[in-house]
Amino acid sequence: VLDSQYGMYVWPCAVVLAQYLWAHRRSLPGKRVLEIGAGVSLPGVVAARCGAQVILSDSEELPRCLQSCRSSCLMNRLPHVPVLGLTWGRVSPELLSLAPIDIILGSDVFFDPKDFEDILTTIYFLLEKNPHAQFWTTYQVRSADWSIEALLYKWKLKSSHVPLHSFGADKEDLASSSLPGRHTIEMMIISLAQSEGT
């Protein structure tokens, strides 16, 4: 789906995160997964098709993105997957009433530095409620000046780098399609600093 609006396009980071999920598909059945900033929801759809109990979310202020999540579910025969409006940095009834989760997914959510702290406050809130959960995220390196290191420290979070070659995502193409343009994509897993993780 090609559209200039962020959440209406399958960005390369989504393909890389979907590859990671596929590489770990045997661990997904029964896992409770939340995708934030889901847009067209490729990672969440892959997780659901691999047997995870998935909830998709995007900003409540972006109804087109929420509809895109629903459309992706219908096209992939996943009509039971719930879609929630969750806005980063906002504590809402939907956020407060979320069922326990094991894995949070986010592909290319670290797109605009003005959103970084809102994303991490939301992740911190979710990890505090689910101390053994992890945030699996892929991001495109857009500027050497952008960093979340200080915010991770502020919110008592830690990150571990996941090398792309460790799950076969260090290629020019994935899933038989070329990734457009030249991209530097990275993956990390974020968890509570004091937690051992899952």
Question: 33 lies in a domain?
Answer: yes
Question: 6 lies in a domain?
Answer: no
The two beta strands, 53-58 and 32-35, are parallel
Q: According to the model, what pLDDT value does residue 185 have?
A: 87
In this structure, the number of other CB atoms found within 10 A of the CB of residue 163 comes to 10
Question: 49 lies in a domain?
Answer: yes
Whether 179 has a pLDDT exceeding 60, the answer reads no
Contact between residue 138 and residue 185 where contact means Cβ atoms under 8 Å apart: yes
pLDDT digits (tens, 9 = 90+) for 4-47: 455 556 668 888 999 999 999 999 999 999 999 988 899 999 99
Question: 146 lies in a domain?
Answer: yes
Beta strands of the chain (E only): which ranges? 32-35, 53-58, 83-85, 103-107, 134-140, 157-161, 173-174, 177-178, 185-192
Q: According to the model, what pLDDT value does residue 63 have?
A: 83
> Which domain CATH number covers 101?
3.40.50.150
Q: According to the model, what pLDDT value does residue 21 have?
A: 96
| 158 vs 64 pLDDT, higher one | 158
Q: Look at 3-7, 44-48, 153-157, 172-176 and tell me which has the smallest mean pLDDT.
A: 3-7
Number of domains in the chain: 1
Whether 177 has a pLDDT exceeding 80, the answer reads no
pLDDT digits (tens, 9 = 90+) for 93-152: 999 999 999 999 999 898 888 999 999 999 999 999 999 999 999 988 877 777 899 999
Could you tell me the residue range of the domain that residue 180 belongs to?
A: 12-192
Question: 48 lies in a domain?
Answer: yes
